[in-house]
Amino acid sequence: MGDVCLPAEMNDTNALRRQVVLADLLLDRQRLLRALSLELRTPSPPNSHSALIVLHVGRGQRTATSQSAISDADLLATVAFRIGSRIRRRDLIGRVSDQQIAILLRDLGSREAAVQITRRFIRAGESPVPCGNGLLYPIISAGVTHLPQVPVWPATLLEHTSDIADQAIRESASRFLVTEAPSAPTEGIAPPDDAGNEHYWRSAIGRALSDSEFRLHYQPQIDMRTHRLTGLEALIRWQRDDELIMPGEFIPAAERCDVIGPIGDWTLHEACRQLDKWHTDGEEYPRVAVNLSAQQMRVQTLETVRYALKHHRVPPDKLEIEITESSLISHLDEAATLMNELVAMGVRLSLDDFGTGYSSFVRLKRWPFGTVKIDYQFVAGVLLGGYDTELIRAIIAIARKLEIETVAEGVETSAQRDALASLGCHAWQGYHCTRPLPPGHIETFIRDWHGRL
């Protein structure tokens, strides 16, 4: 089909920077510190680890023969877009300066995982950037700080990691340094607001629900063979006044403050309401996928799903429920009952983030999944021909034997898409097609997409 997925403007750096802003990919410093504050104040789950990464984006070799230049801010935006499309929904990315971005990695399985992910970010960030009629090769240095078990002021942690990233340029041949958090006392330092505590988030999320501030945006899933739409994934956003807050900023807070249940219920009802509206308007889509949190892996969720489908007159096969491996591990017995009942009802199940933490191919055989989603982390390395490629090959082979479809997340280029197709992947989604779009825009995009086939 060629490269119909890639918008032409994504080859233009200034347009790419505008797209980054439109997607609210980068948090500003205040919102980044707010997220760090919450992360540092709330206990981590058992055997869970978090880390802060700061990447310094510098200029390397340039092959352009013209005098065209790219500013530090535009270069940073280009690199941030590449890395931001690779982060998990629970992680965050923010701007530190015109030459630095920070990434907060949450709920990792080990300290080593932070190092491995950082190396992936560096590889992605150092891909050449169009500049005039040639290319500019960024140079990325990284500082990684393991989040402490004792209190430390967020600004201190961010400045420390920023300094480590700069230090890596001078002192590390690999431009990569890993450190522990500073042990400076935090007594007497008052936070600028209450945005890091649980009461703030409970109140803010309660107001958002009552004031209808949450929104769903939809990202298409595309069939590898026919290039037609196979489904949409519903992704939540928080529209607070003129600020669009991404899920990585508030979903972890909602989970830790035990208010994720009402958000999950709202998401189910809103997705079903939208499906009914599309049907009424003559827009028919195969199905919509909705994510369930670990706290929703209860038998009671079955009644929520049943009521949402009935109330909004949605056939069960139009709804897909995405479940992460980690949420299954947290509630094995209830999860098994819930999944079997959902499938008996006609709802499709999808296993999300497969291969990132608790992977077992046995689970694919034991539980009634119709789809397995290949995580963006492995998709990012599919062209390298190493571990990532072989893992994807194994996932697809096992899924095929079990008659389970595979969907690749985070596809950014036609080369990645084609490589995944050659391995036998059924469908794909990612920024190579489009970022998640709100109702009113996603319909137009899909009509235009199918019109180009």
Q: What's the confidence (pLDDT) of residue 11?
A: 44
Residue 324's φ and ψ, nearest 5 degrees, are -85, 155
How far apart CA 137 and CA 142 sit, in angstroms, is 16
Rounded Cα distance, 359 and 136, in Å: 39
Spatial separation of the C-alpha atoms in residues 223 and 202, rounded to whole Å: 40
- pTM, two decimals, is 0.77
On whether the CB atoms of residues 157 and 54 are closer than 8 A, the answer is no
How many beta carbons lie within 10 A of that of residue 51, not counting itself?
Answer: 22
DSSP string, 49-60: EEEEEEEEEEEE
User: Which domains does the chain possess?
Assistant: 8-180 (3.30.70.270), 207-451 (3.20.20.450)
For 80, the enclosing helix (H) or strand (E) is helix 72-84
Cα 289 from Cα 37, distance rounded (Å): 32
Straight-line distance from the first to the last Cα atom of the chain, in angstroms, rounded to the nearest whole number: 8
Which helix (H) or strand (E) element contains residue 145?
Answer: strand 134-146
Q: Which residue has the tokens 């006392």?
A: 185
409 with 220: CB under 8 angstroms?
no
Quick one: tokens of 6?
């890639």
Burial 340-371 (b: 16+ CB within 10 A, else e): eebbeeebbbbbbbbbbbbbebebbeebebeb
Per-residue pLDDT tens listing for the chain (453 residues): 443 333 333 344 444 444 444 345 678 888 888 888 877 776 666 677 889 999 999 887 666 554 557 788 888 888 888 888 778 777 889 989 889 999 999 888 788 889 989 988 998 888 888 777 778 889 999 999 998 866 678 888 899 999 999 999 888 777 889 998 886 544 433 444 455 567 878 898 999 999 999 999 999 999 999 999 999 999 999 998 887 888 888 888 888 788 999 999 999 999 999 999 999 999 989 999 999 988 888 889 999 999 999 999 999 999 999 998 777 776 778 888 999 999 999 999 999 877 655 556 777 788 899 999 998 878 878 887 888 899 899 999 999 999 999 999 989 889 999 999 999 999 999 989 998 999 999 999 999 999 988
Helices (H), 172-256: 198-210, 247-256
Contacts of 333 (CB under 8 A, 6+ apart): none
**Residue 438 amino acid letter:** P
Residues near 182 by beta carbon (within 8 Å), at least 6 away in sequence: 152, 156, 157, 160
Cβ neighbours around 310 below 10 Å, total: 11
Quickly list H helices, 172-259.
Answer: 198-210, 247-256
CA distance 8 to 14: 12
Distance of CA 328 to the CA centre of its chain: 19
β-partners of residue 240 are 243
Encode 359-415 in three state secondary structure.
Answer: CCHHHHHHCCCCEEEECHHHHCCCCCCCHHHHHHHHHHHHHHHCCCEEEECCCCCHH
CB 356 within 8 A of CB 375: yes
Q: What is the pLDDT of residue 171?
A: 80
- CA distance linking residue 349 with residue 418, whole number of Å: 26
pLDDT for res 338 = 93
Q: Which of 206, 166, 205, 159 is nearest to 184 (CA)?
A: 159
